[in-house]
Structure 1
Amino acid sequence: MAIQHPSSAPSAPASSRPYPMAGPGYGKRSAPDQQPRRADDFMLLPLRERNIAGFIDQLPDGAAMDVKGLAKQLPLYGQQAVGSALKALSVAGYLRRVRCLVTGEGGQVRWVFRTFWSRTARDNEWWGALMAAEVQRTAVPEPVAVVTPVAPAAAPVVPEQRAQEREPVVGGHSPAYAALAQLGRVDARLALSAADCAVLEPLAAEWFTRGVDADYLVRALVAGLPAGVGSPVGLVRRRLTDKIPPQAPTAPVPPAPGTPVRRVMMECTKCGVPGRAEALPDGLCRACREPGQGAPEVPVELPAERDVRTYVAELRGLLKAP
């Protein structure tokens, strides 16, 4: 059946239930100073990117923006196609992935992940200025160190004990084993057997001793997977070794008085690696900007804002729908 090309930006598909919202602090965030919606929004993009951009544009702030969730709402496209489209929309200047440090109930500090969306395509300089404004807005001039009293007779708590207190054993398995078992449900390319999980469990357990949780571990292992995975256990073993985070310090070192604390960081749209805006042109890290075998090379720098429409028109020839 031929696909009809609408003359205006596509609307969100009809649904009997509202689009799923992300957890508090997560999800879509509308960028400031956007132009009003017009009939020709996104019309210079390829069909796949145009459809997905039109769908995202109509989502409310706070809507879930993970690849898996978007793919469930877009029956024409799978997770790989949605991920590729988000990367293209990032290059075209429509979105940036950002992680923000927030303080929750009880003073607990955690990172939340947001997707800033602009209906108006922006260049790297504009996105960098937005991130600088967010950093300034959330900066803490003189952070107050929080001291947790410890009874003199209490034995010192080692990192392994902290990990166990934070992630209790579930169903007779350790948190490391449970996280590995979950990989195949998040992405079938990393489906592991029970024996594989048992072999890799010590490597995954080391991540928990460094202050991360199961969600962080799973995100790190499934990010940026190749199209085909011949040996899931081999790939996971290599990633557990190569991507292990640094050892968390035993005690936080407070910055000097008057030093602002960075609470906002951009992250690569494709793989989630965090960094400053200037280190992630087009919203991509260096590894994800490098063209793969047979893939078209994407320019690192965007043109000035007045040339964005011309740039997007040229981008159409570089992208291929699945």
Structure 2
Amino acid sequence: MAVQNLSPALPSSAHPLANPGYGKRGTPDQEPLHRDSFAHLPLRARYLAGFIDALPEGAAIDAKTLAKAQPLYGQMAVRSALNELTVAGHLRRVRRVAEQEDGTVRWVSETYWSRTARSSAWWTRFLDGDVPEPDPEVAHVDPAPEPRAPRSEAYRVLAQLGLRDPRLTLSAADCAALEDHAATWLARDPAPRNLTQALTAGLPPTVHAPRAFVARRLRDKLPPERLQFSPAAPPAEPRHRGGHRNLVECTECGVPGRPDAIPDGLCNPCQATRSRTHPVDLTVRHA
């Protein structure tokens, strides 16, 4: 059998750019590219890493686009490789609030790429607005977690939804990922019962994905801000990019959450699924 050439195909100059806010974004203090930059990765992820690394800033690096742009792997294999690159510390998908010139805000998604593998602690500091020192060595095993702070009222409301209606039973990871959204709601309407009512009223007969369903309602039913009118009020300062305004997106399912709720770039349910299945589909797709 002839050996397939697994050297990364050079990206075409016509590789599509993503919509603003959705493309490849670099990170600081990356090592120069060398022969063994991605030698620690599985074969499929190694090939895709070389391909992504050669793409320009702002290039579309979603699974569908990457599958069309190179000759060896289809969309499912590319998606699995992106998960491997996330766990290895090369990639993070982030959702953050961006202020527009007219004063409105919207959520935008960003995909950060690092030729140098980074630890989860490095990514957390970077996404919080800090630029940490380069990792001397990537720690793939996170240190023991620090003692947890008392849970917020937002977390408590989410955790008790399943008691109100079993169709909205959420896991601890689900509650942590949605906590900031619920806290934003309570900042505008401090009555927890109103939040619970908005999330549980008029449910369909079956809720197949409670976490996604609750996230949608938190977004769509969010009360308006209570504006305070004062002629002496100074103009609002631009929001800081760091802190809880930035949410990491799970590379597999796209659910947003705080960096500490999505370790290694994959949410807990997706990490559990990955550990059970150990995807090793190295099937080469022929052109």
Relative to the length of structure 2, the TM-score reads 0.60
Q: Confirm or deny that 1:238 pairs with 2:239.
A: no
Q: Equivalent of 1:124, from 110, 120, 123? A: 120
Letter in 2 for 1:281: P
Distance 1:293 1:30 in 2: 29
Letter in 1 for 2:56: P
Distance 2:47 2:59 in 1: 17
Displacement of 1:108 in angstroms is 3.3
Hey, what does 2:255 align to over in structure 1? 273
Contact 1:94 1:118 in 2 (8 A): yes
Q: Equivalent of 2:267, from 285, 290, 299? A: 285
Q: Confirm or deny that 1:51 pairs with 2:47.
A: yes
User: How many percent identity over aligned positions?
Assistant: 46
Superposition misfits of 4+ residues, deviation over 6 angstroms: 257-261
Distance 2:275 2:89 in 1: 24
Compared CA separation, residues 254 and 36, structure 1 to 2 (3 A): farther
Contact 1:46 1:321 in 2 (8 A): no
Contact 2:95 2:108 in 1 (8 A): yes
Q: Confirm or deny that 1:20 pairs with 2:16.
A: yes
Compared CA separation, residues 290 and 254, structure 1 to 2 (3 A): farther
Q: Equivalent of 2:222, from 249, 252, 267? A: 249
Distance 2:275 2:40 in 1: 26
Distance 1:66 1:249 in 2: 29
Displacement of 1:28 in angstroms is 0.6
SS in 1 for 2:102: helix
Q: After superposition, give the CA deviation of every residue in 1:28-87 in whole Å (9 maximum; x if it has no partner).
A: 110111001111111222221111000000111111121111111022111111110000
Aligned-residue Cα RMSD (Å) equals: 3.1
Contact 1:46 1:319 in 2 (8 A): no
Q: 1:71-82 counterparts in 2 under 5 A?
A: 71-82=67-78
Compared CA separation, residues 45 and 103, structure 1 to 2 (3 A): same
Displacement of 1:100 in angstroms is 2.0
Relative to the length of structure 1, the TM-score reads 0.54
Contact 1:101 1:263 in 2 (8 A): yes
5+ residue gaps, structure 1: 136-235, 297-317
Hey, what does 2:282 align to over in structure 1? 321
Hey, what does 2:5 align to over in structure 1? 4
Letter in 2 for 1:75: P
Contact 1:11 1:58 in 2 (8 A): no
Contact 2:9 2:70 in 1 (8 A): no
Q: After superposition, give the CA deviation of every residue in 1:223-250 in whole Å (9 maximum; x if it has no partner).
A: xxxxxxxxxxxxx983599624325233
5+ residue gaps, structure 2: 132-205, 229-235
What is the total number of aligned residue pairs between the two structures?
195
Q: Confirm or deny that 1:84 pairs with 2:84.
A: no
Compared CA separation, residues 274 and 134, structure 1 to 2 (3 A): farther
Hey, what does 2:63 align to over in structure 1? 67
Hey, what does 1:230 align to over in structure 2? none
